[in-house]
Amino acid sequence: MNAPVRMPKLIKGATGDWEVVIGMEVHAQVSSNAKLFSGASTEFGGDPNDHVSLVDAAMPGMLPVINEECVRQAIRTGLGLKAQINLRSVFDRKNYFYPDLPQGYQISQFKDPIVGEGVLTIDLENGAQVEVGIERLHLEQDAGKSLHDQHPTMSFVDLNRSGVALMEIVSRPDLRSSEEAKAYVTKLRSILRYLGTCDGDMEKGSLRADVNVSVRRPGEGLGTRCEIKNVNSIRFIGQAIEYEARRQIGILEDGGVIDQETRLFDPGKGETRSMRSKEEAHDYRYFPDPDLLPLVFPQELVDDLAAHLPELPDEKKARFINVLGLPAYDAGLLVADKDTADYFEAALNAGGGKRDAKAVANWIMGDISAYANSVSKAVSQTFITPEQVAGIVDLIGEGVISGKIAKDVLAIMVEEQGGDPRAIVEARGMKQVTDTGAIEKAVDEIIAANPDKVAQAQAKPTLAGWFVGQVMKATGGKANPQAVNELVKARLGL
């Protein structure tokens, strides 16, 4: 069998095919208690300017002191991206004016970032894998927030986010479709969540992407790119790329040229538009921040963090396939979200039990997920515990109930928002009847009551199914279908 390969995705234009080339700059908020250079809280949604120190407000004479946990989080993330960790890095000032940037510059890293080149592997729909190059990861400060809709002539500025640590993670232009770009952000978010270095909550702005898009004829050099700023959902990333690629193709096919510019995605209209005002500000006049010495740490710190890194999605998936024997598809689905993967393993190992991994996976990805979706929750957030899933799987495995009855057991649990599957089965007499005597009795009664059907079935054996159905009905669905089938055939002499 050949391994699935990455299929080129070309966009049809009026004059031929085009290839889209995408690179991403993802801003991920570092999970930490305090800000990058001050002791103010990073908590989301405080009262205006409540999580602000005089450092964050850039009061004269205030000096930044770096938060060691933010440094560790950046190193962990670098390790998770299999990247070069730079034992010496430098903070620079990126100068621009905006009301939510009180310093008049952002402390960032320009020439010497804390993390260098790495790689992230994405899984495509058809099972193919693509390695996306990571160019760098650097630490920088977030800006404050401006509200423009509170007043006719004034903007309101809240500095609570000002100074919160961000990791800017820059990819190589290795992505070739909106699907790949979405898979990249999804995978990156998954890794960050596994590492615990960013909560990945796009609704709260913890993760946002600047998307660089250009188009070219297949095989040609890179075209001029446009940068779509601050796209804050994975769906919008896809829409923005689709729109932007078509826009650029339209211009090129009409004989025009692409202006390299910064654009904004408008989710309401589903289109991108130019942010001309950003252009002249691009001269950031970076220089090393004289308030901060170079950031230097020993290799031992990196080694120590590496030794305590959790199992990441790729490794977990490989283990689920190779050790637990799950199909690649199932393993991929289960590991995408760390909580779901943990839930699966808790169900698999509950009570020290030995149960079939595929059976547990089927229940979690099937009925349990269906219920979770119906209440808009993740599997791990539902009332159903991994132990309860294990209980259902065990009851089926032991032949106590059939898969069909198990669905009824789950329905009762949902109805009552709890309950031990075994106790439910006991209390409601839902046990599968494996006692042949009882099944024989039911079979005999139905055969005796329906002599005409017996004659028909003996002429046409496929009609035996009718008897099986009647017996199942008579036993309240609790008879073992296999046993009923065999008995009916024997009694009818088929």
Partner 1 sequence: MSVDATTVRRIAHLSRIAVSDADVPHLEDELNSILAFVEQLGQIDVSGVEPLTSAMAMTMRLRADEVTDGGYAAKVVANAPVSEDNFFLVPKVVE
Span 288-317, contacts to partner 1 by CB under 8 A: 288, 292-296
260 is a site residue for partner 1 (CB under 8 A): no
- What three-state secondary structure class fits 140? strand
267 is a site residue for partner 1 (CB under 8 A): no
Q: In the set 97, 417, 459, 493, which binds partner 1 (CB under 8 A)?
A: 97
Please state, in angstroms and rounded to a whole number, the distance separating the CA atoms of residues 433 and 136. Answer: 63
Binding window for partner 1 (CB under 8 A); candidates: 35-43, 187-195, 352-360, 418-426: 35-43
280 is a site residue for partner 1 (CB under 8 A): yes
Please state, in angstroms and rounded to a whole number, the distance separating the CA atoms of residues 300 and 306. Answer: 10
Q: In the set 7, 65, 375, 411, which binds partner 1 (CB under 8 A)?
A: 65
DSSP for 74-119, written as a single string? HHHHHHHTT-PBPSEE--EEEE---TT-TTSEEEE--SS-SB--EE
146 is a site residue for partner 1 (CB under 8 A): yes
Which amino acid is located at 227 in the chain?
E
Please state, in angstroms and rounded to a whole number, the distance separating the CA atoms of residues 100 and 97. Answer: 9
Q: Is 268 exposed, middle or buried (0-12, 13-18, 19+ CB in 10 A)?
A: exposed
Binding window for partner 1 (CB under 8 A); candidates: 202-210, 274-282, 360-368, 410-418: 274-282
70 is a site residue for partner 1 (CB under 8 A): yes
Under a CB-based contact definition with an 8 Å cutoff, are residues 475 and 487 in contact? no
Q: In the set 9, 13, 69, 463, which binds partner 1 (CB under 8 A)?
A: 69
User: Which residue in 363, 261, 267, 277 sits closest to 97, CA to CA?
Assistant: 277
Q: In the set 7, 17, 127, 156, which binds partner 1 (CB under 8 A)?
A: 156
Q: In the set 283, 300, 415, 452, which binds partner 1 (CB under 8 A)?
A: 283
Binding window for partner 1 (CB under 8 A); candidates: 91-99, 114-122, 406-414, 477-485: 91-99
Please state, in angstroms and rounded to a whole number, the distance separating the CA atoms of residues 144 and 348. Answer: 46
196 is a site residue for partner 1 (CB under 8 A): no
> What's the min distance (Å) between Cβ of 270 and partner 1?
18
155 is a site residue for partner 1 (CB under 8 A): yes
Q: Is 364 exposed, middle or buried (0-12, 13-18, 19+ CB in 10 A)?
A: buried
Phi, psi values for residue 264, rounded to 5°: -120, 140
> What's the min distance (Å) between Cβ of 196 and partner 1?
13
87 is a site residue for partner 1 (CB under 8 A): no
Q: In the set 16, 48, 418, 476, which binds partner 1 (CB under 8 A)?
A: 48
151 is a site residue for partner 1 (CB under 8 A): yes
* 285 vs 407, beta carbon nearer partner 1: 285
Q: In the set 10, 124, 264, 346, which binds partner 1 (CB under 8 A)?
A: 264
49 is a site residue for partner 1 (CB under 8 A): yes
* 126 vs 150, beta carbon nearer partner 1: 150
Please state, in angstroms and rounded to a whole number, the distance separating the CA atoms of residues 302 and 268. Answer: 45
Q: For residue 380, give the H/E element and its range.
A: none
Cα angle 245, 249, 252 (rounded to 5 degrees) comes to 140
Give the ranges where 199-275 is alpha helix by DSSP (H): 234-253
Write out the residues near partner 1 by the rule CB under 8 A: 32-34, 38-41, 47-57, 65-71, 95, 97-99, 146-148, 150-159, 264, 275, 277, 280-281, 283, 285, 288, 292-296
